[in-house]
Structure 1
Amino acid sequence: MTATALPCLAETRATAALAGLAVGDALGMPAQTLPRGVIRERYGRITGLVAPFDGHPISHGLRAGQVTDDTEQTLLLARRLIAEPQGFDDAGWARDLLEWEAGIRAKGLADLLGPSSKAAIEALLAGTPPEETGRRGTTNGAAMRIAPVGIATPPDVAQIAARVARTCRVTHNTGEAIAAASAVAMVVSAGVAGQGFDASLDPALASARAGQALGNAVGEPDVAGRIALALEIAETGDEEQLIATIGSSVASRESVPMAFGLLRLARGDLWQALLSAANIGDDTDTIGAIAGAMGGATGCPLPDTVVAEVTEASGLDLAPVVRALLALRQGGTPCPG
């Protein structure tokens, strides 16, 4: 492989990570928060991009192919990282999230900050130290938006865990959340470096264990073990057992291992993994977004027509974000132009 091919591969993989995240998010959008039975009643089986039904509790007002908070907060975090290459401003990040939520409200949409994130941000801006504000946050809000950290950081376990923890502490400063987000970030980072999904798993589990030690001992004490369990069940090909054992809620201990399990179950077919996420029930959009980011980064393709439909429906311009994130990556230089 030539010297110029390596950075071009990095740019291709990083773009695919963000595009995969957006597609998984958009596919799961019409089903988010719904039990599996309700998804079947409303949509049959989701097999492509569809609009939410009238009166959907969260997704009302969105069109087929549009993304939710998962993609929007991912790009929000990317812009914060790009603006501050030498540090991370907790208060600035908190204001970013509140301004984003205000924009969502102004559009009449309901996909807002979770109650724990909102309370943590308000506490920070009221003077509570950032080390304290996120000490109870165990949900998947950190993992869903962590892909930019993986793109901007080489696949070093300690470095990944430390950078993830730094961006998590305002809202999700717990072992469970940091471990889960570190595992996702490592898969993305390893993928951008040219690795496939299977090759990224050992570093991801190591990153989860490292991240676990960096947060408050709240929630699941062994996220790496939960991911390993999901992968083991997925090896049997039994999706029902995977769902029954792991779960698909907003808890990091469920949704992140589930994303890993669905990717293993699909054997490299990212489109099928994302369709499974869309139909699984509960936090469908976030599980799809996480699986999409990891699968895209590790070289699993998606239909070009679907990627184009999602990026057009939501007005996404990923190329400048990808190039700026790769410019932050040690030893990484984006393709010219």
Structure 2
Amino acid sequence: METLSRAIGALTGLSLGDALGMPTQSMSAERIAEEYGGGITGLVDATAAQPIAPNMKAGSVTDDTEQALLVARLIIEGEGHIDPMRLAHDLLDWEDDMRARGSLDLLGPSTKLALEQVRAGADISTTGRTGTTNGAAMRVTPVGIAHRAGEAGFADYVWESCRVTHNTVNGFQGAALVAAAVSHGIDGSAPREALDKAIDDVAALDAPGAWSAKANVLARTRIAMSLADEPDDAVFLRRLREENGTSVESNESVAAAFALARRYADEPVKALYAAASIGGDTDTMAAMAGGMLGAACGPDAFPADQVAKVRDVSHLDLEPIASRLVALRG
């Protein structure tokens, strides 16, 4: 039951973080302060100025949660494995549905480019070779729930989830870091311990995928984690934003999520508020930090009223999904 609770915590933290960051995604810290009267400290409606989800209702999740649950379904149906071609076509169907609903919250740049190649008939071994953004990392939490980090085959499970869209060392490392941190949390590691173990795990792997000239995700994550020891909160957040970055690139947003999770490991909801307020790819950073901290701390680490609102507004039923993923872990 403790394992199941932690799995529920991972999906709960992911969805709550996503919803908290929804109103601020792709906005600067200064614009967030102007639009929302300071930093985010709870679920709020998106304003008309929100560039991706204008006027979206408080408690609404975005592509981070929806794609993570899509991956969870494929893992369950595949008895632990993900068929990359099935993932590609399901993501294309998802975007078509979102577009039909009038949503602007569509596929990210790396995923969209790769899937358009799939739609045109390309071999999936050739797609995603420029995918260095965080699309694979944002949806990988179910892999960490279903599989144990450090065991033979873990890297292959992560690779199944990212190769079609993020066939790069950066894409793989970002996804593997998040999945491993979630997995160690599910196994009972304390939050900071889970983060450190994930870094050690990924450092030991021979990462698959195409080389990129962009900064290495693992190296940047280590640097960002060192910023978490900054005594002053405001200085920490400014340095993380300015020295690390908070864009959709894995080497910025995954690193930032790790730093936020480390600094606020004792107060998980503060990590989500900070991620939602820092500017940039706020919903994804908050979702990743929430998934990792929720796995280590369980669902009770987050405000019950906020969790209930997200589930009600976004029509989420996470317990059965968590249970089936945990069953595969055995």
Measured against the shorter chain, the TM-score band is: over 0.9
* Rounded Cα–Cα distance in structure 1 between residues aligned with 2:62 and 2:210: 29
Shift of 1:161: 2.1
Count residues with an aligned counterpart. 323
Instruction: Confirm or deny: 8 A CA contact 1:184 1:204 kept in the other structure.
Output: yes
Partner of 2:162: 168
* Higher deviation after alignment, 136-145 or 240-249: 240-249
Q: 1:66 aligns with which of 53, 60, 64?
A: 60
Equivalent position of 2:19 in the other structure: 26
Query: Which moves more between the two structures, 144-153 or 296-305?
Result: 296-305
Match of 2:185 among 191, 195, 198: 191
Q: What's the TM-score once normalised by structure 1's chain length? A: 0.92
TM-score (norm 2): 0.94
Is the 2:10–2:290 contact (alpha carbons within 8 Å) kept by the matching residues of 1?
yes
Aligned counterpart in structure 2 of residue 261 of structure 1, from 259, 262, 271: 259
Residues of 2 paired with 1:323 and 1:262: CA distance?
Answer: 28
Listed as ranges, the gaps of 5+ residues in structure 2 are: none
Given that residues 157 and 186 in structure 1 are in contact (C-alpha distance below 8 angstroms), is that contact kept between their aligned partners in structure 2?
A: no
Whether the 8 Å CA contact 1:160–1:185 is kept in 2: the answer is: no
- Please tell me the residue identity of whatever aligns with 1:19: T
Shift of 1:292: 0.3
Alignment check: 8 A CA contact 2:7 2:295 kept: yes
Q: Judging changes above 3 Å, is the alpha-carbon distance between structure 1 residues 239 and 118 closer, same or farther for their aligned structure 2 residues?
A: closer
Once the 2 structures are TM-superposed, how far is the Cα of residue 82 of structure 1 from its aligned partner? 0.9
Give the counterpart letter for 2:242 in structure 1: A
**Which residue pairs with 1:222 in the alignment?**
216
Does structure 1 residue 17 correspond to structure 2 residue 6? Answer: no
Q: Is the 8 A contact 2:80 2:146 kept in 1?
A: no
Q: In the alignment, residue 240 of structure 1 is paired with which amino acid?
A: R
Structure 1 segments unaligned to the other structure (5+ residues): 1-7, 332-337
Alignment of 1:118-197 (within 5 A): 118-156=112-150, 158-197=152-191
Cα displacement (A) at 1:202: 3.1
The question of 1:316 aligning with 2:316 is answered yes
Amino acid at match of 2:188: G
Partner of 1:325: 325
Identity %: 45
Q: CA deviation at 1:151?
A: 0.2
Cα distance in structure 1, aligned partners of 2:6 and 2:55: 32
Asked if structure 2 preserves the Cα contact closer than 8 Å seen for 1:157 and 1:207, the reply is no
What CA distance in whole angstroms lies between the structure 2 residues aligned with 1:54 and 1:205? 39
Deviations 1:109-143 (A, max 9, x none): 11001233122112123332212101110000000
Q: Following the alignment from structure 2 to structure 1, what is the Cα–Cα distance between the partners of residues 11 and 50?
A: 26
Aligned to 1:36: 29
Distance 1:322 1:225, change over 3 A: same
Give SS of 1:109's match. coil
Asked if residue 287 in structure 1 is aligned to residue 274 in structure 2, the reply is no
Structure 2 CA distance, aligned partners of 1:219 and 1:10?
39
- Mapped to 2, the partners of 1:212 and 1:282 lie a distance apart of 30
Deviates more, 1:225-234 or 1:119-128: 119-128
Q: Which residue pairs with 1:213 in the alignment?
A: 207
1:73–1:145 Cα contact (<8 Å) kept: yes
Partner of 2:92: 98
Mapped contact 1:101–1:112 kept (Cα < 8 A):
yes
Paired amino acid for 2:15 = A
**Coordinate RMSD, CA, aligned:** 1.6
CA distance in 2, matches of 1:222, 1:109: 33
For the Cα contact (< 8 Å) 1:155–1:186, is it kept in 2? yes
The C-alpha deviation readout for 1:91-114, integer Å capped at 9, x for no partner, is 211111011111111211110012
Aligned CA distance change for structure 1 residues 43 and 163 (closer, same or farther; 3 Å): same
